[in-house]
Amino acid sequence: MDERFVAPCPRCTRRDQVWHLPDLFGFNHDRTHAEFQAPVGFARTLPVHGAGPMEQRLAPPRKPWRAAGHASAWHEQMARWRTLYYCAPCDQVFLPGRVPQIVAPEGLAAWLRAVPAPAGPDPAVRPAPRPPDPPPRGPAVPGTARPPIRAVPPRPAPPRPAPGGGAPLPAVPAVVQCPTCHIPLPVHPGYVTWCERCDWNLQPSGSAAPVAGTTRLYAGLGRRLSRHLYTTLLVAPALGPRLTPAILLAFLLAGGVHALTVALALLGGLLIGGNWGSWGIDGIGLLLLGLAWFVRPRFPQLAPDDRDRLVTRTQCPTLYQVTDRVCAALGTPPPAFIVIDSRYNAALSRVGWRWQPVLRLGLPLLAVLDPAEQVALLGHELAHAVNRDLTRSYVVGTALESLQTWYYVLQPDYEVARAGGCLDAVATLISRLLLLTVASGIRLLYSGLLHLLWRNTQRAEYLADSLAATVSGTAGVLGLLDKLPLHGAYRGAVQHIALTGHPQQLIAELRHRVATVPPRERARLHRVAVLEEARLDSTHPPTAWRINLLRARPVVQPPVTLDAAHAATLAGELAALEPRVAAEVLDQYANHLYE
């Protein structure tokens, strides 16, 4: 029996997974340090996309070392923190009461620093008119005044169950005050509370601005180059790839990597085949041949787990038919394999020495898309086989794999030798420094090759969106780009199903959460996409720029569509895969808890 006295969660009304925040941390004697100590029965939650660990999101305010004013503010913040509770299934912090205040864990620090709102009525909320007094009961006594009987206000409605078997939703969302501009902000449980006027808490876990000079220069260069590419494509008549000096240099570097491997093999064969009359030379030749074989260009193969996720034409005939229609519209061969996994994403890769395309589709993402958006997803991924994305090419892709192998071979071992004299230690140090120098050069070459392809890879994403629009229509691609950032709904559904123990309802819960995302949350994600900055080490341009570029080009009607019958058949084929994907998702969730 649970003997803890805790307040029920205002959203799910549960008590078994509600914890008082002071019960989750242990303090030292002067309370300058708090250590997270999960009690028995506490269920860890998956952090929202981009959020920090739970220890950081729920941590108490740090005690200042000096300054009495700051110490007084810390005592006030600490007193407020001690009154809070955390609900693990809902991943939210709340202050119990008649009108509970709900705080997102990402905004807990800002909520604690904010000045508490006055206890009076909110001036932004117009009070409801007072109901008229009812007539007095019974005869009035002459010379006496009967006090009026006021109507008792009704009690708030209990939480209503959410459609689709989800967690109960509150009848009326709570309202908090913005700590910056002091306007009332509605609170939607499970979502970030932010201010549309001053952008307070817009990105609760956003990365801080770079401080170092080189890092700031690197970020500024990425923004300028990405902006230049975006403005160039806005006025370009076609988005197809072009041969540029950077691409030529990338092919030269990739060819040099492969030529080095061939040179090692030829030199090793020459040392072995020549009549040198020395076993040492033959040994060096064998070493060079073995090294050339080890760093040879490797062709990716299907992982053992992916072989279990393959779907055949017999299992999903409609999916293969739609894929064939999209490939015919794009003018590309159909993929050799289709893999259905548990990610909220999709990708196109190559395997084998024949460089066969493999289409990887995440069932959670497919399940929340409508038929036009599903066709857009297929068109976008298969378009990468048309637009000559160099990272997926035969020459450059295998060169990148070879450079990774070279770095793995030459990276020195940093374990300290336990035996040997001074000379051995000096020789070991010199050899490690030499290996580290060569490995650093290979790593720099690998990074330079990727940066040469950066402009091409981002241009390939723009072109893939444009080609997908020629297949599914502009509206389908825009709908797909609108649902791609909803990773938080996917993680919330996984967390809820893992705690309730109903894996068969995972996809239904995910569809419900995506369909019921508040308009404020969609507006926040759109504003975050607008403020998203391009980076030199990113293969995807900002989502807002992709949407703007699609809207700037002529609207395309969908040549490939799914009628109601084919859409229902495809939904049935995907539903047959839901038990396997749900079990895989829950296994990954459990592994995450015990990492």
Would residue 439 count as lying in a domain?
A: yes
Strands (DSSP E) found in 498-589: none
Identify the pLDDT of residue 315: 92
pLDDT at 156 over 50: no
Q: Name which of 556, 583, 565, 578 is nearest 501 in CA terms.
A: 583
End position of a domain, from candidates 206, 238, 267: 206
Q: Do 276 and 404 belong to one domain?
A: yes
Lowest mean pLDDT among 50-54, 94-98, 148-152, 200-204: 148-152
What stretch of H or E contains 457?
A: helix 454-472
pTM of the model: 0.69
The domain tally of the chain equals 3
* C-alpha to C-alpha distance for 348 and 408, rounded to whole angstroms: 26
Q: To the nearest 10°, the Cα dihedral for 185, 191, 196, 197?
A: 50
pLDDT at 209 over 60: no
The DSSP secondary-structure symbol of 504 reads G
Q: Do 379 and 448 belong to one domain?
A: no
pLDDT at 216 over 90: no
Q: Do 483 and 523 belong to one domain?
A: yes
Identify the pLDDT of residue 145: 44
Handedness of CA 71, 72, 75, 81 (dihedral sign): negative
Q: Do 429 and 467 belong to one domain?
A: no
Cβ(465)–Cβ(477) below 8 Å: yes
In the chain, the amino acid numbered 106 is: E
* C-alpha to C-alpha distance for 489 and 502, rounded to whole angstroms: 17
pLDDT at 443 over 70: yes
On the 0-12 / 13-18 / 19+ scale of CB atoms within 10 A, 9 is buried
Would residue 198 count as lying in a domain?
A: yes
Q: Is the model more confident about 395 or about 14? A: 395
Would residue 307 count as lying in a domain?
A: no
pLDDT at 110 over 80: no
Contacts of 436 (CB under 8 A, 6+ apart): 411, 412
Would residue 235 count as lying in a domain?
A: no
pLDDT at 302 over 60: yes
Q: What is the mean pLDDT of the chain?
A: 77
Q: Do 545 and 426 belong to one domain?
A: no
* DSSP result, 413-432: P-PPPSS--HHHHHHHHHHH
The percentage of residues in the chain with a pLDDT greater than 90, rounded to a whole number, is 19
Lowest mean pLDDT among 80-94, 169-183, 466-480: 169-183
Q: Do 417 and 400 belong to one domain?
A: yes
What does the pLDDT average to over 462-475?
Answer: 92
End position of a domain, from candidates 206, 232, 259: 206
Cβ(282)–Cβ(272) below 8 Å: yes
pLDDT at 94 over 70: yes
Q: Position of tokens 């070392």?
A: 65
Strands (DSSP E) found in 272-345: 310-311, 337-341
Q: Do 419 and 503 belong to one domain?
A: no
Q: Do 45 and 175 belong to one domain?
A: yes
Q: Name which of 161, 162, 188 is nearest 173 in CA terms.
A: 188
Would residue 491 count as lying in a domain?
A: yes
End position of a domain, from candidates 407, 429, 452: 452
Q: Do 463 and 448 belong to one domain?
A: no
Q: Do 273 and 403 belong to one domain?
A: yes
pLDDT tens across 374-389, in order?
Answer: 999 999 999 988 876 6
Would residue 47 count as lying in a domain?
A: yes
* C-alpha to C-alpha distance for 482 and 144, rounded to whole angstroms: 69
* C-alpha to C-alpha distance for 336 and 575, rounded to whole angstroms: 23
pLDDT tens across 266-299, in order?
Answer: 998 888 887 777 788 888 888 888 888 888 888 8
Would residue 140 count as lying in a domain?
A: no
pLDDT at 64 over 60: yes
pLDDT at 159 over 50: no
Structural domain that includes position 184: 1-118+164-206
Q: Do 10 and 52 belong to one domain?
A: yes
In the chain, the amino acid numbered 75 is: H
pLDDT at 2 over 50: no
Q: Do 107 and 200 belong to one domain?
A: yes
